[in-house]
Structure formats: C-alpha cells, structure tokens
Structure 1
C-alpha cells in the first residue's frame, strides 16, 4: 500500500493537499517512460519545443492565481509574494529560450560543425521555498534542450507541481516527456537509484553533499547542485542609516528568511554608526506586520512548518551557548517567527545556513577585517556591500568570494539574465538561472566536408 503524504498549511494547520507517495516501482516506471519518449522528443526541432514552452507560459499566466494560492497554502508565503513567483514562472520561458541560443549555439563552416545534444532523462528535485520558480528553472531549459524529465517536488509543497504538470500537458507536451512523482525521502531515494542521466537539485548543503557522494565514480551522470549559503552583508559609512537598515531588513527577512540568498551575517563597523544600524533594525523588527498568507498588508508570513520554527529557536540557543549575545530574541507563535538578532563578534559559532528570519551581527574595526569575516565561510552563494563610496565597492568587490555580489541592493536580488550559483558548499560549479542551458546539453564538435576526399598519404 502506498504511503500517504499530506501538506499542512503552516499558517492555519489545515490539510491543504493529500495524496499517495510514488512507490519505488512507480518511480522506476516514470523513469522508463521518460527513457522511452526521449528519442522522439530529442529529435524534434528546437522551434517546436520552444513553441510548446511558450504555450506553457500562457497556461501558467492563466492559472497564476491558482499557482499563487497553492504556494501560499503549502508553505505560508504571503499571497503578494507568491503572485510574484507565479509571474516569474511564466517569464522564465522567454529568458530560457534566449539563454539556449546564447549558451548552446549551433555553428557550421565549410569544415567544422558545432551542435549541442541533450543528456537524456533528467531528475529534478524541487525545494519548498520557491516550489514553482526554482524547479521551473531546471525543467524549462531541460525540455528546451531535448531532455525528458522526472520531477519530484518537496513533500512539503506538492500542490504547485501538479498545476505545472497540468499546464505542460495542456500546452501540448507529449505524454511521458515530463513525469511527476510525489513523495518524500523514499521516493527521492528510488529516483536517485533509477536509470537517470542527470540530477538537478536545489536545496540544503547536507542533502546536496549526500547526492554528490551518492554519484561518486559515475561521471556519466551530470549533477547541478544549488545548495544555499551563509551569506554576509557588509555595511560601511557613509550611507543613509534608514536606507541601509531597509536594505538589511529586506536581505535578512524577506520570505521569513527562507531564501538561499538571505543575509545571515550582518557585518557592521564598531562604534556609533554600527549601533545606529542595529537600533534601526530593532525598530523595524518591532513594528513589521506578520500574519497569515491571505492577510492584507503583511510583509512576512510563517516559516514552512512549526518544526522549522522550533529548529530556529534551537539554533538561536546554540549560538548563545557558543558565546553569542542576544540583541533581540526570536519570538515564536506556532510557525510564525518575529525576526531576531544576535551579536556573535567574539563567539565561536557554527558555519551553518539557517532558513529563518534571524541574523548574526559581527562588528569589525576596518574594511579588510569585514571582508575577511565575510569570506570566513564554507559557502559562497551571495554577498553584499552597502556603502555610498564607489572606491569602497571597487576595493571590496573583487575580494568578496561569492557567486552573487550586490552593491546597495538586497542580497536577495538576482537578475534573470545572469547566472545563479557560487563556490564552496553553495554548489558544484554549475550555476543555474541564465546558465542552466550549460548543464542541460553537451557540445558535439565535428569536422565536415560535403564531398569525400581522401587525405594525403605518405608511404604509398
């Protein structure tokens, strides 16, 4: 008998989705179906595949409110924010088509030929924080390149995946090209052990490292792993304190801190300026509106589950035990968290990513020390600098080790026409977003001649 999985809305406690998890046999059947359809799909023209993707974008637009509701009810994201995610999903098609042409070109001369070929069956593992947009960013470029896909969404956010699959079917995608398998760890394990040609993953470093180890010694399986970060945000004088505080607040607490680009470590100068930034942040934390996803005029909703909220409180306690000094403690009400701040300047704290609205404050005497503290992490996804002096930016930018380095912008800002990823435990050097086309196809080079002419031979 199949295991039943349930999605429980963290804001209300209601069961908002219930269904059977795919068994091992069902997962292998889905992979076999993807394998059987690969040859025909890969041999269709790119224009035909692009037309289906464009039709998918129109279906997503038509169902955007259903998608937003599914996202909000599954993981607690405010409806206004879920609507922006639904919009990004539709816009991803045009960006991916442009990326494919730029990143995987076809060229032919009188003597050479360059084309790009799909890998085969791609397994896509989706995260809970952007359950539509992030797997969408793997699926669309995979299908455009001619791959077939088996998609396992997070068991915490299953609803939007079903809407996505429905949109693809209504857009004219042939049966078996995209295959949805719902489930948790057992379903994911079965997919890892199936006959796949690629694994495209967005999630935690712990899970990504496990996947990397699982496929050790199997270079024929391409891995694209996006694994988050313990991201630093540096603020230096001169800058308007209110503007800096607003940017820091957005960086740390948008989506209740559940973005992989959220600032986890706030690096401030010693002295009065740093004190003023902390005070401004405390004032914003005290008055920010937090509520159910469907409430009007809220900035933050809940975290994904009550368990996640409890884990954040436990993490805060661990930092205090390591020598951190609480500035403003997290406040928990079920799955809702009011943001917290803790000073860890002189504490020996773990280099871990916490998906919650919680920032560690680090005070430094100078810019070089600030940069050194920013780079003191195993991760390398996002980093930021807030300062009005361009000379400070010019100095810091090449010294900050991160795939995304923003100046006077939130760390959570990422452009759709740019790569998304970073070094260290943030990935395996296969950035997503605009560069997703790179891992969805492999280059095929050739020397060509329209007439067979024997080469000049010696010794005859």
Structure 2
C-alpha cells in the first residue's frame, strides 16, 4: 500500500489505504467545472479487507460497556460541533451547495448523533417477574455485527449520520460506501471518529462504484444494509440484499407536492416554494417539486414565486450566493433537458434557468432556478423525479382534486399543505398517503428523535431511518425465560409447557 495526496483513499483498519494499481474516478469541483482530485474505486481485495477489518473489530466493540461507548459518542459529537465549518467547506467544494446549506446539513446530522448519545436508554430491554410460578422473562437488544451504509451524493454528511450513530452506539461495526462524486466528507468523519477514541475497524470507509455496492450486498459477513438513493437502485438494493439474507432499509425517490389552499398566506407559500424547491439546487429527496395551487390563487402565487426567483443569486457556494451548481455536467444536462420536455408538452416556462449570469467560473455546472406553470400531469416533468432546480405548478379546482392528485403518484415521501384552516390541515393529515407531512412547513424532515421514511415507492423494507426505529433496525432481540428451582420441584410432564 502507498499513499499519495492526489487521491481520496479508503479508510480501513484505522488508516488511509490506496492499493497499487487501483481503479479511480474523477471528483469535480462543480463550481469550477474541473477535476479537483481522484477517488479510489474498490475491487474485491479492498472489499474483503474492509469487511475483515470490521468483523475483527466487532467483538471487542460489542463487549465494551455502554458507558464507555457513550463517552466516545459524546466526544465525537463535541468534535463535530466544534468543527462544523471544516466539514461544510469539504461538502461545498465537492457537492456545490452553498456553505450555509452545507452547515445546515451537518447540524441536522448532529441531531441524530445527539439522539444516539442516549444509547443507554434506547438499548434497554424489558422485564416481567412471575409470568408463571417461579418464572421471570426479560429481553435484551444485541448488535447485528458488520453493517453497511450506502449513501447518495446529495447529502454526503447528513445521510450517513442518519444511520451510523445508532449502528455504532448499538455495538455494530460500520462500513460506509459514500458516493464517488463527493467522497471526502466520509473520510473526514472517519478521522474524527479516530480522534474521538473509536477503536480501529469500527468505522470503515470503502469508496467505489457498482462493484463495491454489489460486494457489500452479497458479502456473507455483512448483516444489514442501509441505502438512500433513487427508486430503481433502492429496489435493486432491497432485492439483492434480501436475497442474500440481510436486513435492509432502502429509501428511494420522491416527487413531493405542496398543496396551497385559497386561504393560505401567499407570501409565506411563495417563500416556502422557493426555499424548498431550489435549496441545494433542488438536489434533495425532500425538495418540493410540484406546487399544487387550488384556484383561484394560482396566477398570484406563480407571480410571487417568479418575483422571488428574480432576486436569487446563483454562483460559487463559497461566495455570498443563494444557490450553487449541480453536481456534474451530465446531471446538469439531464435536468436542463426537462425544460425542453415541458415546452414540448405544452407547459409554460415562466422562468428559464438556462444561460443565466452566475457569480462563478464559466465552466461550472450551472442551471438557474426554473419555474414551469400549467404542467400536464402526464408529462415526464410531472411524473419523474428530476432532482434539480425545476419547480412545476399544477392547477386544481378543489382540495379534493389536489389530494387525489398527490395520492395517485407512485411516491409517498414528503408533502406539505399551506393553509390557515386548522380543520383542512387536520383532514389533510388523514387523507394524504404520504409518510412525512408538513403543515405550513415545506420540508418536513423529522427531528432526530423521530424517524425518517416515506410510503409506497419511496421506501423498501419496513424500517425507517434514525430515531427509535434506527436502534431497532441495528439490533436484534433476545428473550430469556428463567426459573430458579426450589426444593419442592420435580416430576416428569411431557405435555407442552403452560404458564400457571
């Protein structure tokens, strides 16, 4: 093994690893449009080394007391909070989102670390005394072993933190496979874990492409897989990992709607649509993709959204800008193509983000905020998860039509309603078939003490991310039935045991 600063290495057994002759992939600075570095792509040897290291570290970490595990988690939490700006800068350089957004991503991940620091409470079992004569029953929660986290490019710090705090707190050894598009955040967190005192091998970073993904999904020593990404890949991950006997939680895609009723505060709704539609250049699974305007407010709402878009500054996220570039040129071109689709399908492009002036290098992967009105529900602009700064407006005649539209979609990740009518908001919560709902809140990502996950084709597996469900996913229950015999016991009875 040799190290060179021009590559992003794996992190295996507590140190950076760059195998000789390794395959690599470019990592871009999307605001400049240039290759910033190269990332290693794992082959079979690196996969085996990563899993072996994690497997070797697991027994001692599992045996460590909860108090000592908790101390390491607290130390990691304090280091991360103190050095948020460092991690935010890494995220901005490789993803492109503005620094404030990157810092917000870290803050939301910290919520999950905070929750995991209460591991002594979250891992408590149950006890019942005297369930039958002289018999007591208790349960314990034990770790699974080696677990894998396969993370997307859009949140290179927050999404891994949805999973690894609970996994590590519960006593598992974790392998993180970050996106090869922005891999450095995971490596930085590995170094921070080491500084916090985590034993080598408990946190591993394995970079790679489909070879690494398949290697983790199929490896017999990997017990569970957590995944976030597009729905087709989530389905593949779920099927493959399940077929190989693993516990799986696979969070898929989304097409999130925001229903605006006629009584809503239109300034609040317009602000929310812009914030939720164009933050992080629309590269969020919780982004608002569709504004469903209940007439007669559509014209006024569209006008107010367009006015706000006109005031946005697009440019290098390291400068004083509102929105940065997209992650790659290929993704930018794909998203931009939907604007042509919208026009071909008869929609009205109110604001076209192509060819805008930006505060950044001319070769950056730019596409400005785009607003499309009168979008037909049969258009790919409406049905596809675009994952970019394209906000669609669909007009409906009633609340009922709007809810029916939302429920007819294949996804059920997040949704929001904007209204001043408490009864309508309550009814919406009952009627809509979506896993996460906001009432006058456009991005209803639950806080760390609850759990994240959608319905329908937005989630594969029956366990959501973080919160109490996160601890349940990364542990298995053991139930112990105990009888301490007294001198009066005895006798043979071949009948099925009964509780008396």
TM-score > 0.5 by shorter chain: yes
1:364–1:41 distance in 2 versus 1, CA, 3 Å: same
Q: How does 1:324-403 map to 2 (within 5 A)?
A: 324-332=347-355, 334-350=364-380, 351-403=383-435
The correspondence for 1:420, drawn from 421, 430, 452, is: 452
The answer to whether the aligner puts 1:295 opposite 2:325 as a matched pair is no
1:233-248 maps to which residues of 2 (within 5 A)? Answer: 233-248=258-273
Give the whole-Å Cα distance in 1 for the aligned partners of 2:39 and 2:378: 44
> In structure 2, do the counterparts of structure 1 residues 452 and 128 end up closer, same or farther at CA, with 3 Å as the change threshold?
farther
Q: Deviations over 1:125-183 (max 9, x none)?
A: 11111101110221111111111111111001111111100011111111111111122
1:5 has 2:14 as partner: no
Q: CA deviation at 1:324?
A: 3.3
Q: Which residue of 2 aligns with 1:440?
A: 474
Shift of 1:268: 0.5
**Residue 211 (structure 1) aligned with residue 237 (structure 2):** yes
Shift of 1:451: 4.1
TM-score by length of 1: 0.93
Stretches of structure 2 that go unaligned for 5 or more consecutive residues are: 1-20, 130-135, 357-363, 496-500
Moved more, 147-156 or 176-185: 176-185
Is the 2:437–2:444 Cα contact (8 Å) retained in structure 1? no
Structure 2 CA distance for partners of 1:183 and 1:363, relative to 1, 3 Å: same
1:268 to 2:328 alignment = no
Choose the corresponding residue for 2:195, options 170, 176, 192: 170
Quote the Cα distance in structure 1 between the aligned partners of 2:378 and 2:101. Answer: 35
Over 3 Å counting, the alpha-carbon distance change for 1:127 and 1:455 in structure 2 is farther
* Structure 2 counterpart of 1:108, from 111, 122, 127: 127
Name which one, 1 or 2, has greater alpha-carbon Rg. Answer: 2
CA distance in 1, matches of 2:330, 2:234: 21
2:94 is aligned with 1:58: no
Query: Is this contact kept in 2: 1:263–1:411, CA < 8 A?
Result: yes
Instruction: Tell me the equivalent position of 2:283.
Output: 258
Q: CA deviation at 1:411?
A: 2.5
Q: Find out whether 1:285 has 2:314 as its counterpart.
A: no
Deviation at 1:457, TM superposition (A): 4.2
Q: Cα RMSD between the aligned structures?
A: 2.1
* SS at 1:383 equivalent: strand
Aligned-partner Cα distance in 2 for 1:15–1:44: 43
Q: Helix, strand or coil: the match of 2:208?
A: coil
Cα deviations by residue, 1:58-109 (Å, 9 ceiling, x for unpaired): 222343222111000000010112122233344432212347734x432233
- The alignment partner of 1:260 has SS state of coil
The corresponding residue for 2:94 is 74
Aligned to 1:32: 52
Q: 1:265–1:19: structure 2 CA closer, same or farther, 3 Å change rule? A: closer
The answer to whether the 8 A contact 2:66-2:120 is kept is no
- Indicate conservation of the 8 Å contact 2:74/2:117, yes or no: no
Contact 1:124 1:150 (8 Å CA) reproduced? yes
Alpha-carbon spacing, 1:24–1:458, altered in 2? closer, same or farther (3 Å): closer
Q: Number of aligned pairs?
A: 456
CA distance in structure 1 between the partners assigned to 2:314 and 2:444 by the alignment: 19
The 3-state SS of whatever aligns with 1:234 is strand
**Partners in 2 of 1:267 and 1:325 — Cα distance?**
15
Q: Which residue is equivalent to 1:21? A: 41
Which of these residues, 146, 150, 155, is aligned with residue 180 of structure 2?
155
Superimposed CA distance per residue, residues 297-320 of structure 1 (whole angstroms, 9 cap, x where no aligned partner): x22111212221111012333344
1:124 to 149, 152, 159: 149
Q: Deviations over 1:432-452 (max 9, x none)?
A: 131311211122222123447
> Secondary structure of the residue that 2:285 maps to in structure 1?
coil
- Normalised by the length of structure 2, the TM-score is 0.86
Structure 1: unaligned runs, 5 residues or longer: none
How far apart are 1:413 and its partner, in Å? 4.3
1:48 CA drift (Å) = 1.6
After superposition, the Cα gap between the structure-2 partners of 1:90 and 1:268, relative to the gap in structure 1 and judged at 3 Å, is closer
